[in-house]
Amino acid sequence: MTIFIPVPLAGVGGIAKVAARGIGDGDAPVVAAHAIGIVAVRPPSPVHLKAVRGAGGDVTVAWTRRSRAGWAWIDGVDAPIGEASEAYRVTIGGGARERSAEVASPSLVYRAAQQTEDSVGQGTELTIAVVQLGTLAASRPAFLTLGGS
């Protein structure tokens, strides 16, 4: 059985101790200790990252967010965000320079004009990374490579 225990911000960097006692353990519980790292307050990485090149050259990038606050669709809509606000950093590379942008919704359009500024040619392969910006830390990145065509 797995039980998730909320960790207060002050606990990050400390040690969590859990004590358990089974029927045959006698009077002394078995104690396990584990360091509380930044992972405890980091949002999960976005998933289902996809990118589509449009006829005009724009690239539309979209993904699905996840939440530390729960995964169930109890009321038939998305799980709660679990952060003070919804925010993402999208980084796109492949041209002469890397471009980063912060957005408040799970999508971004990389315009043809921006691609020209970045020296991205028609057949250039793009590497896309998306992180969710949490209240206390950023998620690990989700990556996608969009092949040139």
Quote the pTM value: 0.73
* HSE-up of residue 12 (Cα within 13 Å, Cβ side): 10
Residue 63: both structure tokens together: 């993904």
C-alpha 48/C-alpha 46 separation (Å) is 7
The architecture that CATH gives domain 43-146 is Sandwich (2.60)
Q: What is the pLDDT of residues 16-55, one digit of tens each?
A: 888 888 887 778 888 899 888 777 678 889 999 999 999 8
- What's the pLDDT score for residue 115? 92
Chain mean pLDDT for the chain: 85
Residue reference for tokens 């998933």: 47
If you average pLDDT over residues 54-79, what whole number do you get?
Answer: 79
- What's the pLDDT score for residue 70? 64
Please list the alpha-helical segments (H only) found in 85-147: 112-117
Residue range(s) in the chain whose domain bears CATH number 2.60.40.10: 43-146
Higher pLDDT, 20 or 132: 132
